[in-house]
Every structure is written in C-alpha cells, then in structure tokens.
Amino acid sequence: MVNFKEEERLSTLNHSCAHVMAQAVKRLYPQAKFWVGPVVKEGFYYDIDLGDDVINDDAIKAIEKEMKKVCKEGKKIFRREISKAEAMEAFAGDEYKLDLISGLEDGNITVYDQGEFTDLCRGPHVDNTKMCKNFKLIKYSGVYWKGDANNHVMQRIYGVCFPTREELDEHLKLLEEAKERDHRKIGKEMDLFMSDDLIGRGLPMFLPKGYTIWQELENYIKDKERALGYEHVMTPCVGTVGLYKTSGHWDHYKENMFPAMEVEGESFVLRPMNCPHHMMIYANKMHSYKDLPIRIGEIAHDFRFEASGTLKGIERGRHFCQNDAHLFVTAEQIESEFKQVVDLIFDTYKDFNITDYRCVLSLRDPADKVKYHDDDEMWNTAEDALRRVLNDIGIEYTEEIGEAAFYGPKLDVNVKPAVGNEYTLSTCQLDFCLPAKFNLTYIDKDGEKKTPVVLHRAILGSLDRFMAYILEETKGNLPLWLSPVQAIILPVKNEDEELNAYAHELYNYLRRQGIRVEIDERAEKLGYRVRAAQVAKAPYLIVLGKNEVADQTVSYRLHGEQASTTVSKDEFVAQLKEEIETKKVNPASLK
C-alpha cells in the first residue's frame, strides 16, 4: 500500500484534490464550513461542518460528480500571501478558519485560489484542477472537532488521487483486497470477537470460537517455551505508582498509561507492561551464578491508553495479552541466550509460514534526553553488545535511530502483511538499566555480588495482534490445528432419522478423538448450508448421505474445493490428527 504522506508527488496531488473536494462540497452545500484537510498516509481527508446535513452514500456520489466538473474546468491554482488581518477579514464568520488563523504568526500566511474557491493553506499544490481528475472518495465518518468529545461532530470525507487512471485502479483493487482481508470483517463473519462502546473502546472481547484460537496460540508458544527451560508465572494487572517510578516507566511512559487510581492512600495503575513485576519475582530470593539463566515467561494482560484514532479491532487495543518473557543472564550468556531467542522466533515463523519480514536493530537517539534513560556509558555498552551478537549470529539487519525502548536497544522483527504497512511482530531487547534500578544481584563464582543482564523478549508479540495478523494473511483460512471449527457435518436430508442418527454418531466419535466439530442440521437446503460452512471457513466439510450410512464412511471436501473424497472414519481421524500434529498449512490460505 502506498504511503501518500511520504511520497512527495502524491502528497502534493492529494493536497490539491482535497481542495477540489472542498470546492465541490461548497457548491452543493453553500453553508459548509471547513476545518482541516491534510494529506495522511492513506490519502487525504477534509473535516466539514454541514450544519444539519449528514454525509451518506448518495451524497458521496453527488460530491464525486461535482468534483469531476471542477477538474474538467481546469482552473489554475494560485498562491497568495496575506497578512493576518487580511486573513481574519477574508474568513470573517467562519469560526473554524478564524481558530486556525489565531494560532498563526503574521507575515507568512498563505491562501490558495481556484475559481470561486479560496482556502487557507500552506501548500504546495499542483498547477490546475485538471491534474486531480483521477480520484476516488473512499470512506466517510463522523468526528469530533479537534478530536475532543466535548465538541460537536463534523463530517470527515476521505479520498485518494493519482496521476494516472491505471495507478488509481490498481490502488482501488488493493483497497478491495484489504477489505476482504480486514481481520475485523473476518472476525465478524467467523464469530470470533466483539466490542461494545458500553464496555469501552479498544476493549475487545473474545467469543468462544475466537478464544479457541487464542488458547491454541497460548498452548503452542508455552509448549515451545517449556521445552527451552522457561518457567511461567502469573502476575497482577495493576501495580503501584512507586513500582513504575522505580522502573522508570512513570517518567518515560506515563502518557501511554491509564490514570492512577487512589485506593486507601496508595496510587495504583493498570500495567502497560510486565517487566517491573518480573524484576520483583527475580528479587524474591537470592541467586547464584549457577541459577542463571533464569527464564520467566507469562501470557500477561496489559493496558495502554491508545488514542481512539489508532484503535483497530484486536490488532491495536487498550487491552491486550503479551507473549512476554524476561531472561536473567550473566554477561557471558548474552550471546547464547540471544541466539536462542532468535532461533525461537524463526522456528515459530516457519510453523506459521511467515516469510516476508526484516530485522531492525533499534537504537536510541543520543540527543533525546527525555525519551531515553540518560546514561551514555550504559547505552554504548548495550548497543555495542547487541550489535556484536547480531554480527556473530550472522543476521542481516538495518539500524534505526530513535526506535529503542527507553531502557535499552532491541532487535525488532518487522513483518510486511498482505495489505497495509509494516509493523513489529517479535522483539528481543537488551537491558542493563532495569536490573540496576531494582538492585538485582547474583553471587558470582568468586563470591561477589554482580548485576544480571536482562533480555526482554516477545515471540508472538501480543496474542491479539498475532491473531489479527494470521487472520489477514490467511483470509481466515486457518490451518487445521488453529481452526476453531475443524469440521462441519452436513446431513443431505434433515428429515432422515437414520441419516441424522449416523451424523450424531460421527459427531460424538470425532469429539472423543479431540476434533472440534459441528453439525448443521437446520431445516435449510443443502446448498444453503454448504455456503454457510464456506463462510465459517471450516477446513473440512463432511457431507453425509445414504451411502455413507450404509458403509459407515466419511465423505469430505476441503474448504474452497469441489472434489469429494470418501474414507473410513478411522482413516479420516488419522488424517486429521497427522495434519494437526505437523501443523500443515491450509492450501486455501495460499490462494
């Protein structure tokens, strides 16, 4: 997906198209007033006050039609510099523009004219409106003025614009693909999770089928961790403000945390991450160098106050569950333990067929003394150590300044999803800072106290985001081991008692074998039930008729295929168990 904000030619073109849209809106709605119309990574938008009118699909069609007229007119776009007083006079009566102008300095205010339309803007713009003809309005919504829920609601209209029709058509195809892959759409169709404003924005709830996937992911990663010597713990979702002052999160991360709660004279906060709790678990008793490495893992519930505009289903919420772990190691163990984490990441990616990723060494910005713990020697030591480990392991990586955690550098593994922008899925962070802040020690072989080094690591990241990623990569066509419903039984005729009896016998047999199975015996035609099973995306569809009853067999078809195969019940179960054990990739997910 193109980033309109970062590509200069597209940014200028889309900025101009926003003005074309505003001019068309003003012609159709003379009472319209405009707030801001910026270019963003997905195109452009304009926030508009239409009075009592509300945007709908018919209004969008009318606006697009008028925009085409504006483009066909090919009016030149002129830039003018005016004084603050002239600007106040020109936009007198428009409270939105006056609000913007009040925050500007005199002497550098610009407006742009195109035909009868004039707008306050710093630019730049294209030469004339004809250059904006390859556009499309893609969505609309209601938003609070300035993002403040105490203000009134404005209409926000989004659009995109390209130099050529071919580029526009290609982008629209990608948008359609994105809609089909959107985990929120898939989650609704498959009945996986829900949200409700009465509970709270950014606080999704997992329904039985969604929680089945969640549990499978939890069991999967815990089994891998246990095999590598991890010990799992459970810690509370709250901590005192004092805990986070000790860790440094209160100084460096407070704006992302929920407000403190006062209880019996003590201040508590919902935890944004788990490292302070795990530091205290380590500090619970004395340790010898013989105890290290100590690997503490947890599927931990965390809370961060994300801005409402960034919330996106289970991919980005205010509550999520991290596949978190902290490894307490000696300086000599850093490389071997870090390599083990990296091996675990890529072994996991192999199981999920994740191939499009890149490794990033995220470093601090030395000039930023606010975001990062201020200790140059510590940072130089940590960054050099991590760089040396990556080089020794032989990992290809790029370096990015300003992306480190506040307490230390990290390796981020960024995935490129089927649609949308790259984001971090897995991470491993090297930390000399927090162990010192919590006065963590171990007794070395020479009998002296030393401070351990901590590796913070998350393989699946958060289970919530990982599930969203897998749903979008596979379009919901999950591998058999991960599917919430692995097989659906469809009796050809619902009124046939013998057939229904065999269907229930097969259902109970498969359940006893550990297969997640359902029966659809609704009073609907077979074709209707087949289509419903396709939407549910169960990997196996079992269609039973008189022949299957007579022979005590199973006739199945794979999701997305028409061909049918008939086998004995035992053969069928053996096939499913082998596919679950090997975590075979569902062929439908690769189409």
Give yes or no for a contact between 53 and 29, defined as CB atoms under 8 angstroms apart. yes
Question: Is 17 an active-site residue?
Answer: no
Residue 197: CB atoms within 10 A of its CB come to 7
User: Strand pairing partners for 205?
Assistant: 194
What pLDDT is attached to residue 590?
A: 53
Is the sign of the CA dihedral 120, 121, 122, 123 positive or negative? negative
Candidates 183, 278, 304, 364; catalytic one: 304
* Candidates 3.30.980.10, 3.40.47.10, 3.40.50.970, 1.10.150.130; CATH matching 8-181: 3.30.980.10
What pLDDT is attached to residue 587?
A: 64
Report strand pairing: 487-491 vs 517-519.
parallel
- Please state whether 563 falls in left (phi above 0), alpha (psi between -120 and 50) or beta: beta
Give yes or no for a contact between 549 and 499, defined as CB atoms under 8 angstroms apart. yes
Flag whether pLDDT at 451 surpasses 90: yes
Question: Is 456 an active-site residue?
Answer: yes
CA-based nearest residue to 381, from 315, 453, 295, 487:
453
Candidates 456, 457, 475, 537; catalytic one: 456
- Residue in the structure block whose two tokens are 């599917």: 483
509-563 tens-digit pLDDT: 999 999 999 999 888 888 899 999 988 899 999 999 999 999 999 999 999 888 8
What pLDDT is attached to residue 370?
A: 67
Least reliable range by pLDDT among 4-13, 336-345, 396-405: 396-405
Candidates 324, 412, 431, 520; catalytic one: 324
Flag whether pLDDT at 6 surpasses 90: no
Question: Is 156 an active-site residue?
Answer: no
Average pLDDT over residues 41-64: 92
d(CA 513, CA 132): 62
String of b and e for 305-316 (b: at least 16 CB within 10 Å)? ebeeeebbbbbb
What pLDDT is attached to residue 387?
A: 85
Flag whether pLDDT at 149 surpasses 90: no
CA-based nearest residue to 157, from 236, 47, 315:
47
Question: Is 326 an active-site residue?
Answer: yes
CATH of domain 480-590: 3.40.50.800
How far are the Cα atoms of 105, 297, 442, 466, 494 from residue 285, in angstroms, in the given order? 61, 18, 10, 34, 64
Candidates 132, 275, 428, 433; catalytic one: 275
Residue 1: CB atoms within 10 A of its CB come to 14
Where residue 437 falls among pLDDT bands split at 50, 70, 90?
very high
Where residue 591 falls among pLDDT bands split at 50, 70, 90?
low
What's at 281, amino acid-wise?
I
Flag whether pLDDT at 443 surpasses 90: yes
Average pLDDT over residues 273-277: 94
Question: Is 277 an active-site residue?
Answer: no
d(CA 355, CA 353): 6
Give yes or no for a contact between 416 and 357, defined as CB atoms under 8 angstroms apart. yes
Least reliable range by pLDDT among 20-24, 161-165, 526-530: 526-530
What pLDDT is attached to residue 373?
A: 67
Tokens of 329: 């190691």
Question: Is 183 an active-site residue?
Answer: no
- Calculate what percentage of the chain has a pLDDT beyond 90: 65
What pLDDT is attached to residue 378?
A: 73
Candidates 295, 410, 457, 559; catalytic one: 410
Average pLDDT, the chain: 90
Flag whether pLDDT at 405 surpasses 80: no
Flag whether pLDDT at 301 surpasses 60: yes
349-380 tens-digit pLDDT: 999 999 889 998 888 787 776 667 667 777 88
What pLDDT is attached to residue 589?
A: 57
CATH topology identical between 8-181 and 480-590: no
- Residue in the structure block whose two tokens are 């075979």: 584
Which residues lie below 8 Å from residue 339, measured CB to CB, with a gap of 6+?
389, 393
- Calculate what percentage of the chain has a pLDDT beyond 70: 98
Average pLDDT over residues 308-315: 87
CA angle 270, 272, 277 (to 5 degrees): 85
Flag whether pLDDT at 84 surpasses 80: yes
What pLDDT is attached to residue 516?
A: 96
d(CA 66, CA 484): 48
- Domain ranges in the chain? 8-181, 193-474, 480-590
- Please state whether 413 falls in left (phi above 0), alpha (psi between -120 and 50) or beta: beta
φ and ψ at residue 473, rounded to 5 degrees:
-65, -40
Whether pTM > 0.85 for this model: the answer is no
What pLDDT is attached to residue 467?
A: 96
Candidates 326, 364, 457, 537; catalytic one: 326
Flag whether pLDDT at 238 surpasses 90: yes
Average pLDDT over residues 190-215: 95
What pLDDT is attached to residue 369?
A: 65
Where residue 64 falls among pLDDT bands split at 50, 70, 90?
very high
Average pLDDT over residues 248-271: 91
d(CA 590, CA 387): 36
Dihedral Cα 311, 317, 318, 320, nearest 10 deg: -170
Average pLDDT over residues 449-466: 94
Question: Is 27 an active-site residue?
Answer: no
What pLDDT is attached to residue 560?
A: 84
Where residue 497 falls among pLDDT bands split at 50, 70, 90?
confident
Average pLDDT over residues 107-136: 91
CATH of domain 193-474: 3.30.930.10
